[in-house]
Structure 1
Amino acid sequence: MTHPFKAVGLSYKTAPLAIRELIALDEPACRRFLDTLHQQLGLSDLLVLSTCNRTEIYYAAERDQSPAIIEALGQLKGVQDITDYYEYFHVRNSCDEAARHLFEVAMGLDAQVVGDLQISNQVKQAYQWSADADAAGPFLHRLLHSVFFTNKRVQQETNFRDGAASTSYAAMELVEELTADVANPRVLVVGLGEIGADVCRHLAANKDFSDVTICNRTRSKAELLAAECEGLKVIDFENLSEALRDADVIISSIARDTPYFTVELVERLEVLSYKFFIDLSVPRSIEADVEQVPGVLLYNIDAIQSRATAAVERRLAAVPQVRSIIEETLAGLDEWSREMMVGPVIQKIKGALEHLRQEELDRYQKKVTPEEAKRLDDITKSLMQKVLKQHVLQLKAACKRDEADQLIDVLNDLFDLERQQATA
């Protein structure tokens, strides 16, 4: 593709959790960052995607702007020595590479849990923020609508989305495994963000979990989820300490910059047997040293691995088919991108032909009747459209052969388009 679309970012493949949580962005931060990149760095076709597994910035610029973007990210997050983390960032400076990567991310091919549905919703959300900030140009609009269309094809034509092998489902499977020997395990979910709420839905749908309590700072959000999922119990945040003592498993999905569950807090629970903590937050909401407390076992987001289920196996088998659909879409996007390149040339030719037509008509206006003038206008318009159509077809064919540049040069000379533009 000929568009100057690029990408820079890091993910679970290039950076450990400690680095990812250092630069993770919530919604307000994403919106501020979009504004900074758009207004101060002058970047267009912007998409800022930040999840528990990745923080990536897609943009359009003639030259590589990744150092300036990383610097701006460091300033936003208050990281003074952001240059020390350059090695964790992956830079994609070709349009083909950046666009293909975005497709693979949005489809769930690049997810920790292959086929994770949550990421496609997160991409849609990031696109909405970009549109709100007026930072999405024609190319990004076309690209994202192509992504959404491809997602629909994958859903309809493959087994890639069979089953429920998302990160939240993998968390529920881990709880199932950890409590296999516990009769009627007591599960407490604290924080009801997207992943936390999804975990609750999976727990509520599983007959093995009949004692699930949920807690959120905003109680109304917990009550809405409890109304949606039968059997969930709601407690106030102020009553969390008692619920923590009773629970066998605590799943934390709290969104905050520093850990909520500290060593001091967990030590006060006086764990008598075993208590499992599962941290689904980025940045982490449970201190890593909590695992030093006797009887406590801690699992963070990186420990939530893909479960060896039939659903995952079917998804893996469908990967070649998904990649094939992506390549089909990318080919169409490439063709559109090349045609966009020749659009201004077509407009110039149209203007040059119209200028010639009007000059010739003006020469005969005083020599013909109004009826003859109308007939001449119709005939010359029709002739001009036929000539223009032929050149448009030739340009589009040249685009497919990757020879548009040569033909544009010929047409520039033939119609003297540079002079035409200067005198317009």
Structure 2
Amino acid sequence: MMLIKVWPMYLANLYTGIITIEKIMDHTSQADISKFFIAGINYKKTDAAIRGMFAINNDQYANILTIAPESGLHSFFIISTCNRTEIYGFADNVGQLINLLCTQTTGDSETFNRLAYIKNGADAVEHLFEVGAGLDSQILGDYEITGQLKQSIKFAKGYNFINCFLERLVNSVFQSSKMIRNETALSSGTVSVSYAAVEYIKENINLCAGRKILVIGIGKIGRNTCKNLVDYLGTTNITLINRSEEKAAELAAELGLAYAPIEDLAAEIKNADVILVAANAAEPIVLKSHLEGKNTKLVVDLSIPYNVEASAGELPNVSLVNVDALSKINDNTLMKRRAEIPKVKCIIAQNMAGFMDWYMMRKNAPALHAIKSKLVYLYMQHFSDIKGDADKCPVMAAEKKIQKVINGIAGKMREEKQHGCNYIEAINDFIVSVNN
């Protein structure tokens, strides 16, 4: 570094400025990326039964958000789908997030830790970009993850748990996902969990006249499944049952289907030939006793945790299929999607770089503002000592020189952490420019 040619009378101001900058940087460390974690389990190391132990429904999510401040946690969100349960957030250590999550699950934190993947900082950011793109989905490019992520963020935001960092991050992820859908074929075709269920029915059941389909649960996946049944199987012989009868009636009217109240569940199960379950209940709602001694049935459980009693699959008249079995469907569409992965990763890298630039600028903005204010002050003091009147100091004349110094220091601060040194260098550069 060039020898600092500071006017001796301003050394006290220089030292005070360094202390001020360091305090500012300490104050902005609340969104320090080194304290950003993701901990999760997914289909890669766990089956649907294990994932069900750590699935989070809306009531559990609300409980977690309510008790989180007691653990000193204020900025996080949870994604819980048939593929994964993940918690993203700021903490002193990842154990805080895992322990909080497991206060509401049937599985314990010890089991979660043993099976979990944990990422930190930029690695955690990159993981979210890949999840949002569908790169990490059980069915490559599954577009349903975007809607699920939006719902997770909206829920946490309603409880004021989405800070500026998380807001900007998820918006960048959504922007990246949109670019991927528009510029690549990663989500081309019609492969998703809900569509895979329809494909399975098409290949294994002859939907002749009179075959009845029952759909239980019309959340995001249930709704998509209903639409795929109508669009790709060309059938409307479908009855909907949902905990909220109004929602079932609304979708039934939209698609020209029938609906029934939850009280008629046993009777509708008895009459159905194909049963699709996406109820997202904490316990099974389709029981072995509902199916025992009835006609031959195909039962597709799209829920995590399972909403169909496992022992129902032992019945001779029942074929029970879950999400893990459906994900093994492999066709030409998936082959084409795999070929798009390099393009997708380039788009992710581009959007992630933009986010990281924003993060570094936001992190350093208070310090840069303080440096600029100090440079203006020193210039005015220097002018006053020479001319005798600080009020007549031509600050505008030095504005370009000051901004040039700030721009140069901003670039260096993105790559370095020695903020005091940056401050000293800014002072030095500015004094040299004024003297010249």
Distance 1:148 1:84, change over 3 A: closer
Aligned to 1:319: 341
Contact 1:345–1:408, Cα closer than 8 Å, also in 2: no
Aligned to 1:74: 102
Query: What does residue range 9-158 of structure 1 map to in structure 2 within 5 Å?
Result: 9-37=40-68, 39-61=69-91, 63=92, 65-77=93-105, 79=107, 81-93=108-120, 95-158=121-184
Offset at 1:343? Answer: 2.0
Instruction: Show CA shifts across 1:350-394 (max 9, x none).
Output: 2212322443566689x77xxxx87x34x22330x2232122221
Distance 1:393 1:288 in 2: 63
Distance 2:382 2:109 in 1: 65
Aligned to 1:195: 221
Query: What does residue range 189-268 of structure 1 map to in structure 2 within 5 Å?
Result: 189-230=215-256, 232-267=257-292
AA aligned opposite 1:69: L
* Pair 1:302-2:324 in alignment: yes
Distance 2:106 2:276 in 1: 29
Contact 1:116–1:165, Cα closer than 8 Å, also in 2: yes
Secondary structure class of the residue paired with 1:25:
coil
Distance 2:177 2:426 in 1: 45
Contact 1:184–1:208, Cα closer than 8 Å, also in 2: no
Contact 1:71–1:83, Cα closer than 8 Å, also in 2: no
Distance 1:382 1:49 in 2: 54
Pairs aligned (count): 397
User: Aligned to 1:392, which of 406, 409, 430?
Assistant: 406
Aligned to 1:381: 396
Instruction: Show CA shifts across 1:68-123 (max 9, x none).
Output: 222222222365x4323421111112x22101110111111111111111111111
Secondary structure class of the residue paired with 2:146:
helix
Alpha-carbon RMSD:
2.6
Secondary structure class of the residue paired with 2:140:
coil
* Pair 1:281-2:303 in alignment: yes
Offset at 1:301? Answer: 1.9
Distance 1:129 1:382 in 2: 51
Offset at 1:31? Answer: 3.1
Distance 1:387 1:134, change over 3 A: farther
Distance 2:275 2:369 in 1: 63
Distance 2:88 2:130 in 1: 14
Distance 1:414 1:146, change over 3 A: closer
Instruction: Show CA shifts across 1:107-155 (max 9, x none).
Output: 1111111111111111112222333222222222221111111112112
Query: What does residue range 289-368 of structure 1 map to in structure 2 within 5 Å?
Result: 289-360=311-382
Distance 2:361 2:420 in 1: 12
Contact 1:184–1:210, Cα closer than 8 Å, also in 2: no
Distance 2:102 2:163 in 1: 26
Unmatched runs of 5 consecutive residues or more in structure 2: 1-30, 429-436
Secondary structure class of the residue paired with 1:58:
strand
After superposing the two structures, state which structure 1 stretch, 47-56 or 65-74, moved more. 65-74
Distance 1:238 1:170, change over 3 A: same
Distance 2:363 2:253 in 1: 53
Aligned to 2:188: 162
Distance 1:140 1:210, change over 3 A: closer
TM-score calculated relative to the size of structure 1: 0.85
Distance 1:381 1:118 in 2: 54
State the percentage of identical aligned residues. Answer: 29
Offset at 1:183? Answer: 5.7
Distance 2:243 2:150 in 1: 26
Aligned to 2:5: none
Contact 2:275–2:299, Cα closer than 8 Å, also in 1: yes
Distance 2:262 2:163 in 1: 44
Distance 1:78 1:204, change over 3 A: closer
Distance 1:278 1:413, change over 3 A: same
Distance 2:182 2:362 in 1: 30
